[in-house]
């Protein structure tokens, strides 16, 4: 999957260079305001004492870990602050591969490409389980491929790119499958605040040594650049993950941790609710337009991506470019996410112009 | 070296819990003000547009890379922004081990413990070259142990913990030795702004595919918690390091990068000069007290650590604690840095109370 990064940047650059106005739905960068308390936290840090500018504890600010432990109802020892969910996933995968037998990583197809690339970096084998037509993952399909070779099952829910929300049953079954094969289930819950189905279930509630949960404030607080995430680790992975984290990054940025802590403490539920409302509106507008355009699509239950397939217009790179040039809408080719949705296009609804993009697509395909 | 982290924290915790006032000279956290422009950069970021809060480019902010490329007179493609010098060293070591033949890392003794721990994490063998009585590294001693097995030579100058500054000849010879054995010389220059000898020479000036240079604003700008560093990489390591960086951390914190850029652009030379003056005063006071106490010590040519050995008082953990309890001064036991200085104690001069600590030591041992 080494080619995905160039592909991603290639599409963004192509859209930037286009000779016309283009609605950018390529990246997963929120376009809405971060919580006020996050900006206030950074402002306050600007005047913080010198000591606050120095190394925070390698495992993260004590108050931030306490807050997250209470929020997720886990022992504080299990909380490791990381450089975004990216490092949390990296650590969970690297340490999971070392601690568990087998060398295989089970991933979904379509897949968030970073998982696949990390598996490759870590020298692991990958097995893909295709999701169903609605983007749902069938645990039985995972069970069918799992074996003594399996070290990791990595899945994201709410899901990027399908928008599926795996409910409690699915997550408990994935945890059971991991336990049966001495593997680790890594549950990436970075889109937890973007659940429109009411079915979101956090794997933190599963009492198992075979589950690690990753998360971040990146999406929930519209600040993918802050780089404050965390891993909630089973006991046997705490020391290895802390050591690897320390020897990779030493610590996570102090201003970001202070700002995230303040924002986590002070941001009212309204903020998240308003974000969901905004995205629901975009999803409705966009899906209605896809309907009008006669496209196949899955209405997301969570997160903020829509996968769509247009008849006679497979989601190749060439067609992605054609859509940029001829319709003024930039998405991501489905092939970036594996084979199962290679004919589809992914649109990220992180632009106030989602309605406009929808209209353009309806006009173009209608 | 897994025990060094607990040892380090153990000493800090012991000093904190002591029943008396203790001057903390354990950690390498600067106690002086960061540049005004750094605080201003963070303050400005608090009001930055939403887009600035999202993922910066994985390889770092373009303007920050441009600034560093110009400052170090290297092509901008070679500049990778990292989560502090810690990640820069990690990437250089990990990618250097993969790209070069052999599996041995040559380190100095005494050593900055993170190098040794990273070598262990990366599954490499380590060979230690003791420095001389003054803390100087003899390249001939490195040459004597280098072989086809050597993949990396990692050394820091100005040095932690010895305070030695390796001049141009030494660095060129280390680069030559690396070239002769298809190895990579990783020159950690995080203390570059703390040179009192006038002999500091940056390995960036060496035209060799066998040299990588690491650095950060952590020490130079008194902000070890900002986590903004960089690697200057030879051509063949650019892609592997960018990929590993992306799959480990995705990107480096945006507020930190913006603040570092502003501080790098706007901080006058006076700031660094004033810092050196302050440290020179501390070094003088501290070394005079060591002299009065009859201790063996090396006056640092750079950085801000002093190694000292007291007759009949070897730098064991037990004696480190005794010094905390009986003299009110907390240092680090030399055994944390290898064998060659296991009898010594390291004192970090990052406290305005360096003179007071010196007086206490002079009283205690005098």
Q: Could you tell me the pLDDT band of residue A10, with boundaries at 50, 70 and 90?
A: confident
Write out the two tokens for B312: 């009949």
Tens of pLDDT, residue by residue over B59-98, are 999 999 999 999 999 999 999 999 999 999 999 999 999 9
Beta B345-348 vs B305-309: how paired, if at all?
antiparallel
Find out whether A147 and B280 touch, Cβ atoms under 8 Å. no
pLDDT at A293: 87
Q: Which positions in chain B touch A87 (Cβ < 8 Å)?
A: 248-250
Residue B149 region by backbone torsions, left for phi larger than 0, else alpha for psi between -120 and 50, else beta: alpha
pLDDT at A314: 93
Whether the predicted pLDDT of B6 surpasses 70: no
pLDDT at B5: 59
Handedness of CA A94, A98, A99, A105 (dihedral sign): positive
Rounded to an integer, what distance in angstroms lies between the CA atom of residue A48 and that of residue A255? 9
Rounded to an integer, what distance in angstroms lies between the CA atom of residue B165 and that of residue B221? 20
Question: What does pLDDT average to over chain B?
Answer: 95
**Hey, of A62, A112, A247, which one would you mutate to test binding to chain B, going by the most B CBs within 10 A of its CB?**
A247
Which are the contacts of B318, defined by CB distance < 8 A and separation ≥ 6? none
Q: Could you tell me the pLDDT band of residue A292, with boundaries at 50, 70 and 90?
A: confident
Handedness of CA B41, B42, B46, B50 (dihedral sign): positive
Write out the two tokens for B293: 């106490």
Instruction: Decide: helix, strand or coil at residue A296.
Output: strand
**Which residues, numbered 221 to 250 in chain B, qualify as contacts with chain A under a Cβ-Cβ cut-off of 8 Å?**
222-227, 243-244, 246-250
Find out whether A225 and B52 touch, Cβ atoms under 8 Å. yes
Residue B44 backbone dihedrals phi, psi, to 5 degrees: -65, -40
What's the per-residue H, E or C state across chain B?
CCCHHHHHHHHHHHHHHCCCCCEECCCCCCCCCCCHHHHHHHHHHHCCCHHHHCCCCCCCCHHHHHHHHHHHCCCHHHEEEECHHHHHHHHHHHHHHHHCCCCEEEEEECCCHHHHHHHHHCCCEEEEEECCCCCCCCHHHHHHHCCCCEEEEEEECCCCCCCCCCCHHHHHHHHHHHHHCCCEEEEECCCCCCECCCCCCCHHHCCCCCEEEEEECCCCCCCCCCCCEEEECCHHHHHHHHHHHHHHHCCCCHHHHHHHHHHHHHCCHHHHHHHHHHHHHHHHHHHHHHHHCCCEECCCCECCEEEEEECCECCCHHHHHHHHHHHCEECEEHHHHCCCCCCCEEEECCCCCHHHHHHHHHHHHC
Rounded to an integer, what distance in angstroms lies between the CA atom of residue A185 and that of residue B240? 28
Residue A318 burial (C-beta neighbours within 10 Å; 0-12, 13-18, 19+): exposed
Q: Answer yes or no: is the ipTM higher than 0.85.
A: yes
Q: Could you tell me the pLDDT band of residue B10, with boundaries at 50, 70 and 90?
A: confident
CA within 13 Å, CB half, B93: 29
Residue A188 β-bridge partners: A156, A214
Q: Could you tell me the pLDDT band of residue B8, with boundaries at 50, 70 and 90?
A: confident
Residue B190 burial (C-beta neighbours within 10 Å; 0-12, 13-18, 19+): buried
Of the partner residues A31, A33, A256, the one whose CB lies closest to the CB of residue B253: A256
Tens of pLDDT, residue by residue over A322-359, are 999 999 999 999 999 999 999 999 999 999 999 999 99
Rounded to an integer, what distance in angstroms lies between the CA atom of residue B27 and that of residue B44? 30
Instruction: Decide: helix, strand or coil at residue A70.
Output: helix
- A123: contact with B, CB 8 A cutoff: no
Count how many residues are written for chain B.
Answer: 366
Q: Which positions in chain A touch B254 (Cβ < 8 Å)?
A: 225-227
| DSSP H helix total and E strand total for chain A | 12, 13
Tens of pLDDT, residue by residue over A14-55, are 999 999 999 999 988 999 999 999 999 999 999 999 999 999
Question: Average pLDDT in the B314-321 region?
Answer: 94
Cis-peptide, bond into residue A161, ω within 30° of zero: yes
Tens of pLDDT, residue by residue over B222-254, are 999 999 999 999 999 999 999 999 999 999 999
Whether the predicted pLDDT of B3 surpasses 50: no
List Cα–Cα distances, A155 to A132, A159, A174, B107, B173, in angstroms: 15, 8, 9, 40, 49
Write out the two tokens for A55: 């190394």
Query: Residue B121's closest chain A neighbor by CA?
Result: A244
Write out the two tokens for B91: 């990437």
Rounded to an integer, what distance in angstroms lies between the CA atom of residue B349 and that of residue B358? 10
Query: Residue B38's closest chain A neighbor by CA?
Result: A46
Whether the predicted pLDDT of A1 surpasses 50: no
What distance in Å separates residue B311's CA from the closest CA in chain A? 34
**A53–B223: do the CB atoms touch at under 8 Å?**
yes
Question: Average pLDDT in the B259-267 region?
Answer: 98
DSSP letter for A69, please. H
Q: Could you tell me the pLDDT band of residue B7, with boundaries at 50, 70 and 90?
A: confident
> How crowded is residue B81: how many other Cβ atoms within 10 Å of its Cβ?
28
Cis-peptide, bond into residue B158, ω within 30° of zero: yes
Question: Average pLDDT in the B16-29 region?
Answer: 93
Whether the predicted pLDDT of A4 surpasses 80: no
**B249–A114: do the CB atoms touch at under 8 Å?**
no
Terminal Cα distance for chain B, rounded: 34
**A246–B121: do the CB atoms touch at under 8 Å?**
no
Residue B232 β-bridge partners: B79, B213
Q: Could you tell me the pLDDT band of residue B109, with boundaries at 50, 70 and 90?
A: very high
Question: Average pLDDT in the B174-196 region?
Answer: 98
pLDDT at A2: 38
Whether the predicted pLDDT of B305 surpasses 80: yes
Of the partner residues B86, B118, B254, the one whose CB lies closest to the CB of residue A225: B254
Residue A153 β-bridge partners: A106, A185
Q: Could you tell me the pLDDT band of residue B1, with boundaries at 50, 70 and 90?
A: very low
Q: Which positions in chain A touch B249 (Cβ < 8 Å)?
A: 83-84, 86-87, 90, 227, 248-249
Residue B143 backbone dihedrals phi, psi, to 5 degrees: -60, -35
Tens of pLDDT, residue by residue over A256-274, are 999 999 999 999 999 999 9
CA A5 and chain centroid, separation: 16
Handedness of CA B193, B199, B200, B204 (dihedral sign): positive
What distance in Å separates residue B263's CA from the closest CA in chain A? 13
CA A226 and chain centroid, separation: 15
- pTM of full prediction above 0.80: yes
pLDDT at B259: 98
DSSP letter for A54, please. S
H or E, element range at A260: helix A254-266
- B92: contact with A, CB 8 A cutoff: no
Tens of pLDDT, residue by residue over A113-164, are 999 999 999 999 999 999 998 899 999 999 999 999 999 999 999 999 999 9
Rounded to an integer, what distance in angstroms lies between the CA atom of residue A80 and that of residue A213? 11
**Which residues, numbered 283 to 312 in chain A, qualify as contacts with chain B under a Cβ-Cβ cut-off of 8 Å?**
none
Find out whether B135 and B307 touch, Cβ atoms under 8 Å. yes
Strands (DSSP E) contained in chain A are 23-24, 79-82, 104-109, 125-130, 150-156, 184-188, 211-216, 229-232, 296-297, 305-309, 329-330, 332-333, 345-348
Q: Could you tell me the pLDDT band of residue B2, with boundaries at 50, 70 and 90?
A: very low
pLDDT at A5: 59
Tens of pLDDT, residue by residue over A60-112, are 999 999 999 999 999 999 999 999 999 999 999 999 999 999 999 999 999 99
Angle of helix B62-72 versus helix B254-266 axis, rounded to 10: 40
Of the partner residues B29, B46, B248, the one whose CB lies closest to the CB of residue A43: B46
Tokens 């993009």: give the residue: A357
Write out the two tokens for B128: 């230690």
pLDDT at A133: 87
pLDDT at A216: 98
Rounded to an integer, what distance in angstroms lies between the CA atom of residue B20 and that of residue B361? 15
DSSP letter for A19, please. S
Rounded to an integer, what distance in angstroms lies between the CA atom of residue A257 and that of residue B30? 20
Instruction: Decide: helix, strand or coil at residue A221.
Output: coil
């Amino acid at each position: 999957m080494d080619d995905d990064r160039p592909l991603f940047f290639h599409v963004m650059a192509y859209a930037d260079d286009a000779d016309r106005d283009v609605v950018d739905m390529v990246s997963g960068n929120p376009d809405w305001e971060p919580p006020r308390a996050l900006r206030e936290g950074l402002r306050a840090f600007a005047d913080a004492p010198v000591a606050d500018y120095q190394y925070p504890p390698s495992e993260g600010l004590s108050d931030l870990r306490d807050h997250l432990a209470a929020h997720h109802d886990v022992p504080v020892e299990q909380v490791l602050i990381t450089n975004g969910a990216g490092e949390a996933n990296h650590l969970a995968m690297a340490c999971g591969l070392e601690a568990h037998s087998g060398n295989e990583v089970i991933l979904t197809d379509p897949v968030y490409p970073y998982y696949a690339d990390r598996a490759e970096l870590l020298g692991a084998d990958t097995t893909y389980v295709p999701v169903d037509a609605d983007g749902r993952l069938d645990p039985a399909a995972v069970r069918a491929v799992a074996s003594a070779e399996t070290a990791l099952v990595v899945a994201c829910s709410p899901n990027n790119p399908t928008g599926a929300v795996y409910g409690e049953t699915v997550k408990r079954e994935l945890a059971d499958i991991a336990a049966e094969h001495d593997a680790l289930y890594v549950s990436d819950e970075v889109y937890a605040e973007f659940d429109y189905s009411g079915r979101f279930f956090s794997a933190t509630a599963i009492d198992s040594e075979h589950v690690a949960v990753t998360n971040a404030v990146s999406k929930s607080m519209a600040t993918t650049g802050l780089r404050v995430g965390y891993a909630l680790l089973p006991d046997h992975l705490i020391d290895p993950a802390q050591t690897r984290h320390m020897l990779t990054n030493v610590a996570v940025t102090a201003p970001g941790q202070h700002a995230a802590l303040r924002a986590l403490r002070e941001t009212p539920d309204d903020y998240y609710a308003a974000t969901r409302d905004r995205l629901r509106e975009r999803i409705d507008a966009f899906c209605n337009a896809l309907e009008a355009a006669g496209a196949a699509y899955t209405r997301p239950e969570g997160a903020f991506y829509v996968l769509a397939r247009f008849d006679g217009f497979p989601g190749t790179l060439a067609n992605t470019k054609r859509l940029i040039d001829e319709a003024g809408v930039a998405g991501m080719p489905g092939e970036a996410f594996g084979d199962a949705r290679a004919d589809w296009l992914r649109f990220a609804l992180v632009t106030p112009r989602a309605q406009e993009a929808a209209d353009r697509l309806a006009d173009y395909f209608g």
